[in-house]
Structure 1
Amino acid sequence: MTTTDTPTTDTPAKTTSPKSTRALARDRRRQSVARFWRQYRTHRAGLFGLASLALFVLLALLAPLLVGADVQSVTKAPGRPLEAPGGEFPLGTDKYGRTMLGLLIWGARFSLTVGFLAAALSVAIGTLIGITAGHYKGWYATVIMRVTDWFLVMPTLVLAIALASVLSRSIWTIILAIGVTTWPTTARLVRAQTLAVESRPYIERAKALGGGHTHIMTRHVLPNVMPLVLAQTTLVISSAVLTEATLAFLGLGDPTVTSWGGLLQDARDAGATTKWWYVVPPGIAIALVALSFTLCGRAVESVLNPRLGVSR
């Protein structure tokens, strides 16, 4: 009697496929951001600065809904000129009878926009020059760093005033004037960090494996200098907001838009510097935004480089 063996099929065990390189990179970035936020939350001053910035940005974004564009119109001014603060106008009115509270909220759009864009231009120029000067070295680094030193010793505000005077008065002129005069500090910091990064062994291995200049700078140097660039950006924005207010106060801003510096200039031109509601609110707004960015920058710098020992 013959027996037939029943074939048995082995069920293959379920195996978990390894994550792709992109998934692993996303997980690492997510963990890095979570770790950064946990450390950032321990800085009370940094949290205060972040909350203040979030409030100013929210007011700037919602300005058309909160006060409307007509608040800037001289012909549609709802009050009397230089009216003191009261029930209808909590911060009084300007020399045209426009509500100061509405102008203050609307002015946040221009001041913050100039601060962000000018800082982006400044940091981009400084980062490009710093990385290339630290990577190529030789005569190129010597020439470009001497130019950087020349910009460093020249008064930034004087250069910005000179550019704003010869160019047309617009928002792009202000951004250009601030951006091309404030990059040297970033360039020197990034160059120093680039030199430190390129002295590490894995850079030599990348070169030995055939990595070109562009590959080294974009794939190895840039990611390592980005934390420094991020911290520097917050500080540059603070300086850009102050410089924009100064240029507007000197009459070099865009006359067609409302800005905090422009409000101070209007108060001076109208001889209303004794009217506190015309001068104090824009000045406090400028000081708070600059302080908030500075506090955020110090907190970011402390998280990225704990050896600095920045007070919390």
Structure 2
Amino acid sequence: MNIAAGVGQARELSILREKVLNDLDRLQTFLRQLFRNRLAFAGAVIILVFFAMSIFAPLIAGPYPTPVQGGATLDPPSNAHILGTDYQGRDIFTLLVYGGRISLLIGFSASAVAMVLGTLVGLIGGFYGRITDQVLARATDFFLVIPWLPFAIVLSLVMGPSLQTTIIAIAVVSWPTTARVIRSQVLTVKERLFIERAKAVGAGTPYIIWKHVLPNVMPLVWAEAVLTISNAVFTEAFLSFFGLGPPPGAGAIVSWGTMVNQAYTSLALISNPPMWWYFLPPGLAITLVVLGFAMVGFGLEDVVNPRLRRR
């Protein structure tokens, strides 16, 4: 018995090892295809630079400043402050380096929520069809026809500005697009022969969706997730500019969008001369991060949809 059990365990470990090696090989092949795309490679470099800047912020810029630690207010760039100071006398370069943490956190969190919700709606509606699909499709259409920026503004006003509110508002306006894309792919996948074979051997619907349908739509999910992060970072900056983003409490890290808002309220744009060092760095950071994620997203679409490469 012990010998038979040992042989069975060895066989299971061998199968698991082979599966892991196959998955790693497919991942390497996928990454090679992705980074052969110059657009995706350039976008990945931009994202990695800002990720590293946010993670190693204490090493790059020192501790996060507080209003009490601030010096002279609205100073132009100098040897002491390479990007000048804000209206509280805090170093703008330090705020810029730390601000990426909030913007990226909101982008990834909102995208994760939107991807889970959109993928579930697309999978269930596309696979079950009939009345289930009709109800979910109409709900998706309802959110799609609503102008997303005004809707996000209204949600933020109703729920009150906070980090959680910003994430929820962005996720609510982002999931319908993913649901539509996933549903259309599921409608194609569920008609394939291997799905019919799984049904013929008695596999249940949840098992088929989890084991057969979901893996075939995951490349599209990842591509949509990257593009949603790009939209989420922009939307957070938009909401924060109007004072509807995470409130900048005492000593709290401010996002890039909040920095632009503070520059605007400090009349940095219309001062004589304009205080470019206040509004330009966070605006440029937002632009580059949004562009970087969009470039990677388009590269992913190019990889998962070979027809795009032939255009």
Q: Structure 2 length normalisation: TM-score?
A: 0.91
In the alignment, which of 258, 263, 270 is matched to residue 262 of structure 1?
A: 258
CA contact (8 A) 1:118 1:178 kept: yes
- Aligned 1:1-312 pairs, distance under 5 A: 20-71=14-65, 73-77=66-70, 79-255=71-247, 256=249, 257-273=253-269, 274-309=274-309
Q: State the 1:176 CA deviation.
A: 0.6
Larger Cα-atom Rg: 1
Q: State the 1:64 CA deviation.
A: 2.9
Q: Following the alignment from structure 2 to structure 1, what is the Cα–Cα distance between the partners of residues 69 and 244?
A: 26
Q: State the 1:19 CA deviation.
A: 7.2
Shift in CA distance, 109/152, structure 1 to aligned 2, threshold 3 Å: same
Q: The residue matched to 1:183 in structure 2 has which SS?
A: helix
Shift in CA distance, 281/300, structure 1 to aligned 2, threshold 3 Å: same
Larger mean CA deviation between 188-197 and 57-66 belongs to 57-66
Q: State the 1:186 CA deviation.
A: 0.3
Amino acid at match of 2:32: R
Q: State the 1:286 CA deviation.
A: 0.2
CA contact (8 A) 1:194 1:221 kept: yes
User: Unmatched 5+ residue regions in structure 2?
Assistant: 1-9
Identical amino acids, percent of aligned pairs: 42
Amino acid at match of 2:42: F
Q: State the 1:18 CA deviation.
A: 9.6
Shift in CA distance, 21/259, structure 1 to aligned 2, threshold 3 Å: same
Q: State the 1:67 CA deviation.
A: 2.6
Moved over 6 A (4+): 16-19
Q: Following the alignment from structure 1 to structure 2, what is the Cα–Cα distance between the partners of residues 69 and 171?
A: 22
Q: State the 1:62 CA deviation.
A: 1.3
Q: The residue matched to 2:254 in structure 1 has which SS?
A: coil
Q: Which protein has the bigger helix share?
A: 2
CA contact (8 A) 2:34 2:300 kept: yes
Number of residue-to-residue matches in the alignment: 294
CA contact (8 A) 1:302 1:310 kept: no
Larger mean CA deviation between 267-276 and 130-139 belongs to 267-276
CA RMSD, 1 decimal = 1.7
Q: Structure 1 length normalisation: TM-score?
A: 0.91
Q: Following the alignment from structure 1 to structure 2, what is the Cα–Cα distance between the partners of residues 39 and 158?
A: 39
Q: Following the alignment from structure 1 to structure 2, what is the Cα–Cα distance between the partners of residues 110 and 19?
A: 42
Shift in CA distance, 161/310, structure 1 to aligned 2, threshold 3 Å: farther
Q: The residue matched to 1:240 in structure 2 has which SS?
A: helix
Amino acid at match of 1:27: L
Q: The residue matched to 2:178 in structure 1 has which SS?
A: helix
